Chain A
Amino acid sequence: MTFYIPQDTSALAMGAESVARALQAAGVEPVRNGSRGMFWLEPLLEVQTDQSRIAFGPVSSKDIPSILDALDADPSAHSLYLGDVEQIPYLASQQRLTYARAGLGDPICLDNYRKLNGFTGLKNALTMTSQQIVDQVKDSGLRGRGGAAFPAGIKWQTVLDCDSAQKYIVCNADEGDSGTFADRLVMESDPYQLIEGMCIAGLAVGATQGYIYLRSEYPMAHKLLNIAIERAVEANFLGDNIQGCGKTFHLEVRLGAGAYICGEETSLLDSLEGKRGMVRAKPPLPAIEGLFGQPTVVNNVLTLAAISTILEQGAETYQNFGMGRSRGTLAIQLAGNIKRGGLIELAFGVTLREVVEDYGQGTYSGRAIRAIQVGGPLGAFLPESQWDMPMDYEAFAAIKAMIGHGGIVVFDDTADMAAQARFAMEFCAVESCGKCTPCRIGSVRGVEVIDRIVANKDRDNNLILLHDLCDTMELGSLCAMGGMTPFPVRSALTHFMNDFTGEGKGDN
């Protein structure tokens, strides 16, 4: 029998380390795998028996003796027994491409990655011309998963077409949106997939240096990525003359320093250059003048991870998932006040209600859901009337909401939406880079105006002022930070006005 207990951040946060120690004390050395992303079951103990891979969860160290006893007799008799892990409906019903390997084994074991079809995409790419690789990405319909949903193939073509001695691949791993952990899960449970995707990107556009800009809030991902990169270099999947093909790609992790704005691509580039993370005006596009003034592909972790799948399985396979112009799969992150939170990878088109009710099973508190914020701190608060929309970039944009990076934060009926609107402005004030006035000053004024509205000081005029301020921020800000902070504020005003006036919780 082989035992698996994750070393993923959320699993550890739920007590996986003490479970591992309890196993060791009982004479069992567990494999430290990644998480499957079913965080509501963490710590999830998996056991490979002669017949199948069964799971128990959530387990604590106290459960280990009884689980070991049950394994000798009848595992299914144990109260934490979950059966075959891949038959758990939460997981079995997903369409996993990016997360197909998540949780299967030791994430930094290179042999394990190769056994699970790892580096097949890279090997395919090595037989292709740069243009052929870029064409594959275009044909897949892949759009940037960081939030802006820009077609990846077009960005790559721009960089490929630039004539420059030095180009760069930059991975945006500054996953700062609340309610998101999809990038972290890739980096902690399948880091080689990201490394492979970046290497393919380098081959495609002619870049020889890559950087992963990782937020400092992810120490475990930092540790695992560095080990994985070291091993990939040793195995010649990174470095000079990759697999004897004569091509070069070097990769380095750089840590951010706790600035939300550095998830914005131009601010990220300034930060990578060793400067304050100030947003740059566009044009020039980073694809033409990016890092150190050179042509640069800046893609999110999930975009680059998907590249490995596309080059492994072909553009058409990937393209067959999804709806409309949103192709492939979406990494939905179900978070906040939710009973069964975790990572749900599905083709675009599933509705918010299906995700929250079928997968999530309602709130953790057991109370009614009041609002759902999709797409991070700049995403709108959606009332129940908007939960039946399909998750698709265009459908969300049509109601001034956004899918963004795919994070879903659920609030129960105790949430004060006026306080949440105020927080949106406060967060913008704390995290604004300060370059443009609407964001830097508008956010500070926004907090004050909301305070006056809630305190009923000249409420009607201050409401007019708040809308006017939101217009200014939306239309006049340099980037999405100031430009979209009004989204949560306005959606709170539209759907939860009673919270601003103190007239009870009846939603309008």
Chain B
Amino acid sequence: MGISQNERQSISDLVDQHKDLPGALLPLLHAIQNEVGYVPDSAVAHIASGLNLSRAEVHGVISFYHDFKTQPVGRNTVQICRAEACQSMGSRLLEAHAKETLGIDYHETTADGSISLEAVYCLGNCACSPSVRINDDVFARVDQNRFDELIADIRGAEVRK
């Protein structure tokens, strides 16, 4: 997938900003993902030469961590907690409901590009399970109805824009 000239430039700037930082690769990948939305395959060679690493090393790090995406993702990321505390409060039902109502599985994006669905293992909100994170906000006690409300809020906010 090609990237725009602007994206290429911002990746180049970020590599320059990070190259003298000890252990720079994770902070750099986070920065690129914040800027571009994902880490494009075409950026790997540039990151590698900037940090004096092999392309295999950079690719290995990108593929190791769940957070780093190599394809564009939805405008909103919805993460459902799959860990034990949430399971004890019915998150397995919530997962099934989410996949069914959104029509996608984990690591997929709705056809309108609005929502990407991801699993997460603990949001640290385990006294008020089940937990869902939407972008940087965490929501507690999310049953099926609450989930539908949250999704409606996302769609409503997009219409207003």
Contact = CB atoms under 8 A, between A and B. Distances in A.
Interface of A: 9-10, 12-14, 39-40, 42, 175-181, 183-184, 216-219, 254-260, 271-277, 292, 333-338, 341-342, 364, 373, 377, 407, 409-412, 415, 420, 423, 427, 430-431, 433
B140 A10 contact: yes
18 contacts: A9-B124, A10-B125, A14-B140, A180-B122, A184-B124, A216-B67, A217-B123, A256-B65, A258-B67, A258-B120, A277-B65, A334-B127, A335-B127, A336-B126, A336-B129, A377-B83, A409-B85, A411-B88
A181 B86 CA distance: 13
Contact of A272 (B23, B64, B85, B129): B23
Given A176-B121, A178-B126, A373 B140 contact: no
A424 B23 CA distance: 32
Output the residue of B60, B127, B141 with the most chain A CB within 10 A.
Answer: B127
Contacts of B61: 274-276
Contacts of A260: 121
Interface string B65-106: 111100000000000000111111100000000000000000
Nearest to B140: A13
A350 B22 CA distance: 44
B153 to A, nearest CB: 12
A13 B122 contact: no
Contacts of A377: 83-84
B126 A179 contact: yes
Contacts of A257: 26, 29-30, 65-68
A407 B141 CA distance: 19
Nearest to B83: A178
With most chain B CB atoms within 10 A of its CB, the pick from A175, A184, A409, A410 is: A409
Contacts of A292: 22-23
Contacts of B57: 275
B138 interface: yes
Contact of B125 (A181, A216, A258, A259): A181
**Which 8 interchain pairs have the tightest Cβ spacing?**
A341-B127, A178-B83, A274-B25, A257-B65, A335-B126, A258-B66, A13-B140, A39-B127
Nearest to B126: A335
A228 to B, nearest CB: 18
Interface of B: 22-27, 29-30, 51, 57, 60-61, 64-68, 83-89, 120-129, 131, 133, 136-141
Contacts of B123: 9, 217
A10 B127 contact: yes
Given A258-B65, A410-B88, 20 more contacts: A9-B138, A10-B128, A13-B140, A14-B141, A175-B122, A176-B121, A176-B122, A180-B126, A183-B124, A255-B26, A255-B27, A256-B26, A260-B121, A275-B25, A333-B126, A336-B126, A341-B128, A411-B88, A415-B88, A427-B83
Nearest to A275: B61
Contact of A274 (B23, B66, B125): B23
In this complex, the member of A216, A217, A409 whose beta carbon has the largest number of chain B beta carbons within 10 angstroms is A217
Nearest to B29: A257
Contacts of A13: 125, 128, 131, 137-140
Given A10-B140, A216-B67, A258-B67, A420 B127 contact: no
B83 to A, nearest CB: 3
A407 B125 CA distance: 12
A442 B123 CA distance: 27
B88 A431 contact: no
Nearest to B135: A219
A410 B39 CA distance: 39
Contacts of A258: 65-67, 120
Contacts of A219: 136
A361 B44 CA distance: 53
Contacts of A427: 83, 121
A484 to B, nearest CB: 14
Contact of A276 (B27, B64, B141): B64
Nearest to A341: B127
Nearest to A371: B88
A275 B58 CA distance: 8
A240 to B, nearest CB: 18
A341 B140 contact: no
Given A10-B140, A42-B128, A412 B121 contact: no
Nearest to B25: A274
Contacts of B60: 276
Contacts of B66: 257-259
